[in-house]
């Protein structure tokens, strides 16, 4: 049975459906109504090798906050569901990804305890019309609802677009490695017997 899931969530602010396959090839079908965010989610899918479909409608006439945060929540729920009992996964991973002058470290523990530790200072407040602080909001929802500990740390960077894209790509590479089946792992990768 494949490690796939589909999760939908509808509120007074957003209507979101996410379908993913952890063992995909990086195919993406992204439509959130927020161009820069679509670009970031496509990078996340491509570099994690998840097949990822995200269709979202939100109250973007207010701003992009609710849509971005809620997509993180729904994606997190979909990842958690696709992982099942987490038997046989690598669990821990890290990636350091460069993009021109930007350099971001991502480290993941598929611990069952969802937390984000964000140290990604971004100078400009916007990339086009996208509020750069929404990167934090997306990853916070993703980490919490996926049940992963996620550290993101900017090691270098000046350009806001590069820094955010670097963060998404680093998280993608680390996620890919953490959820990858490890043939040497038997059962749940924890001394407690559950994650």
* 192 occurs within a structural domain: no
* Domain span including residue 48: 4-179
* 173 occurs within a structural domain: yes
pLDDT, tens digit (0-9, with 9 covering 90-100), for 130-173: 999 999 999 999 999 999 999 999 999 999 999 999 999 999 99
**CATH number for position 161:** 3.30.230.40
* 46 occurs within a structural domain: yes
Tally of structural domains, the chain? 1
d(CA 101, CA 175): 23
Query: Nearest CA to 108 among 177, 192, 13, 180?
Result: 177
pTM of the entire predicted model: 0.96
d(CA 138, CA 141): 5
Helices vs. strands in the chain: H and E counts, helices first: 4, 10
Return the SS3 of 106. strand
Other beta carbons less than 10 A from residue 10's beta carbon: 11
d(CA 26, CA 22): 9
* 130 occurs within a structural domain: yes
Is the distance from CB of 165 to CB of 130 less than 8 angstroms? no
Residue 32 is predicted with a pLDDT of 98
* 25 occurs within a structural domain: yes
Look at phi and psi of residue 87 and say left if phi exceeds 0, alpha if psi is from -120 to 50, else beta: beta
* 59 occurs within a structural domain: yes
pLDDT, tens digit (0-9, with 9 covering 90-100), for 51-80: 999 999 999 999 999 999 999 999 999 999
């Amino acid at each position: 049975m494949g490690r796939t899931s589909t999760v939908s969530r509808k509120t007074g602010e957003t209507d979101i459906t996410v379908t993913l396959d952890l063992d995909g090839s990086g195919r993406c079908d992204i439509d959130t109504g927020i161009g820069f965010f679509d670009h970031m989610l496509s990078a996340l899918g491509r570099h994690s090798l998840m097949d990822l479909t995200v269709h979202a409608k939100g109250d973007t006439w207010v701003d992009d906050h609710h849509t971005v945060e809620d997509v993180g929540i729904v994606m997190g729920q979909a990842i958690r569901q696709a992982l099942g009992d987490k038997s046989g996964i690598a669990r821990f991973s890290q990636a350091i990804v460069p993009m021109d002058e930007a350099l971001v470290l991502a480290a993941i523990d598929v611990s069952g305890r969802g937390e984000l530790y964000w140290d990604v200072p971004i100078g400009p407040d916007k990339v086009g019309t996208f509020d750069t602080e929404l990167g934090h909001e997306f990853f916070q929802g993703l980490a919490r609802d996926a049940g992963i500990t996620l550290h993101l740390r900017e090691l270098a960077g000046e350009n806001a677009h590069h820094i955010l894209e670097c963060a998404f790509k680093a998280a993608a590479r680390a996620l890919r490695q953490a959820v990858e089946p490890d043939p040497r792992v038997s059962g749940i990768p924890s001394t407690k017997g559950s994650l």
